[in-house]
Amino acid sequence: MRGTKVICVAGAIVALAGCEQQQYVWMPPSGGSSVTFAQQSAQCRLFAEGNQPGYAVVGSQQFVTSYALGAAIGAAVRQQNDFNNCMEAAGWTQQPASSAGETAQAEAEQASAKRVEAVQRLAKAECPRELNAVRANPSQQTAAAFDACMAQHDPNYETYDQAQAECQANPRPFCMQSKGF
């Protein structure tokens, strides 16, 4: 009878170990967040770790060991649930890692399309001569003239070199695409 229990437990452990887990990432609240992921997750970890009940057990050594193992597993599950609930209460949401990357890429593509459209409208309206020069003869000189004209009409205009420097200093997914490059 005891050998059957050992085989059942071993079989359950092997079955669980073979399960492939979906990877998730935490996404910030839709309106943005005043705290970073590191700050929010640290607060939630402190909450989850400090919210664990104690226990006392009396019985045989086998019973106490079994109870302690079950309590440890239960505490780990409870701690993870407390952490997740804390993050969700702060507005953060979990998304599968693959869809989070797709979401970031889609947002970057939308931002890029809007920026490109705005720059094209401004270029046609305010810098048509420089725009035509860049199209006819794409060189560093014509690009510099175009950038100077655009910067004169749009204080937020960002040259390719400026965008690249910012994205290298503060790397994030799809940085250059979100800037229209």
- pLDDT (tens digit per residue) in 71-99: 888 888 888 888 889 889 988 888 887 76
- The answer, as to whether pTM is greater than 0.85, is no
User: How far is Cα of residue 181 from the mean position of the Cα atoms in its chain?
Assistant: 22
User: What average pLDDT does the chain have?
Assistant: 75
Taking only Cα atoms into account, the Rg of the chain, rounded to an integer number of angstroms, comes to: 28
What are 51-71's pLDDT values in tens digits?
777 778 888 989 888 888 888
Highest-scoring range by mean pLDDT, 44-48, 87-91, 175-179: 87-91
The reported pLDDT for the residue numbered 13 is 53
Domain boundaries, the chain: 23-91, 98-178
Supply φ then ψ for residue 166, to 5 degrees.
Answer: -65, -40
How remote is the C-alpha of 32 from its chain's centroid? 12
Q: Residue 29: what residue type?
A: P
Q: Can you name the residues that pair with 95 across neighbouring β-strands?
A: 25
Of all residues in the chain, what percent carry a pLDDT higher than 70? 70
Which helix (DSSP H) or strand (DSSP E) does residue 140 occupy? helix 140-153
Total residues found in the chain within this entry: 181
- Per mean pLDDT, which range of 81-95, 120-134, 160-174 is the poorest? 160-174
Higher-confidence position of 41 and 174: 41
More confident residue, 101 or 96: 96
pLDDT band at 10 (very low <50, low <70, confident <90, very high): very low
When mean pLDDT is compared across 82-91, 92-101, 138-147, 148-157, the lowest value belongs to 92-101
CA atoms of 64 and 45, how far apart (whole Å): 28
Q: Which amino acid is at 99?
A: S
| Arithmetic mean of pLDDT, 20-32 | 74
Residue closest to 125 by CA, chosen among 156, 155, 153, 145 = 153
